[in-house]
Structure 1
């Protein structure tokens, strides 16, 4: 808004004020006078100058140090818990690997025992299994000859 618009507005308000009833005009005038008087009284009263608040750096330092100690303790506990969990995971994986190796060794041992039993039975035979029919004929011939 420019200055001409403001002047026109004030002039329009003054004309509106003159059109109002005299009692209302008097009440508004008294109200304006009381607001002006109150404003002048508030502006002329003595004011107090408040000093800036003094910061107690000792308490602030103690509080900050306490927070640092608390945070360090908390983070140390969290880190130690994390390391224990990781160590447990590594130990569990090592145990599983060891159990797998033991199971594989047991299977290998059983296979070796079966193979050795088979070899022992083959070695213990007087005649190889392919020649058994002939061996039975020979034993029958020997029993007839006696």
Structure 2
């Protein structure tokens, strides 16, 4: 059965302490006494209650203003980039429309030229391959 004293030491531990050399026991006793004295002094000393630091509104205002300027600069750059992209899209659409109109005009001109050629071919009395023979014929013989 173990016996505990007020410090939680068993009988065996107490016997070991008693068998220590008297100088060591005295040194340990002095150390314990100094630790207890220091601990009592720390718990009984008056403590200072520190008030929370006051806010430095000047620094906070400068920091906030700097953040606003930075955010404005960044958002201005983003908006300008967006406007340039939109303008580039509009310009590309305008150029594409001009190219479509130009292509449509070329097709219309080609169609008009083709129709003019067809009209001239149809308006001939004699096909172009038979023209040399038609020149040999007289106007009187054509009618008969």
* Length-normalised TM-score, structure 1: 0.70
Q: Corresponding residue for 1:114? A: 110
Partner of 2:53: 55
Q: Where do 5+ consecutive residues of structure 1 fail to align? A: none
Decide which of 100, 103, 122 is 1:104's aligned counterpart: 100
Aligned positions, number: 135
* Aligned twin of 1:127: 124
Q: Is contact 2:17–2:25 with CA below 8 Å preserved after alignment?
A: no
- Higher helix proportion (structure 1 or 2): 1
* 1:1-146 correspondence runs (5 A): 6-7=4-5, 9-20=9-20, 24-37=21-34, 39-40=36-37, 43=40, 47-53=45-51, 55-57=53-55, 59=56, 61-125=57-121, 126-127=123-124, 132=127, 136=131, 137-142=133-138
- Structure 1: how far apart are the matches of 2:72 and 2:3? 71
Q: CA RMSD in A?
A: 3.3
Change (3 A) 1:63 1:133: closer
SS in 2 for 1:50: coil
Change (3 A) 1:37 1:79: closer
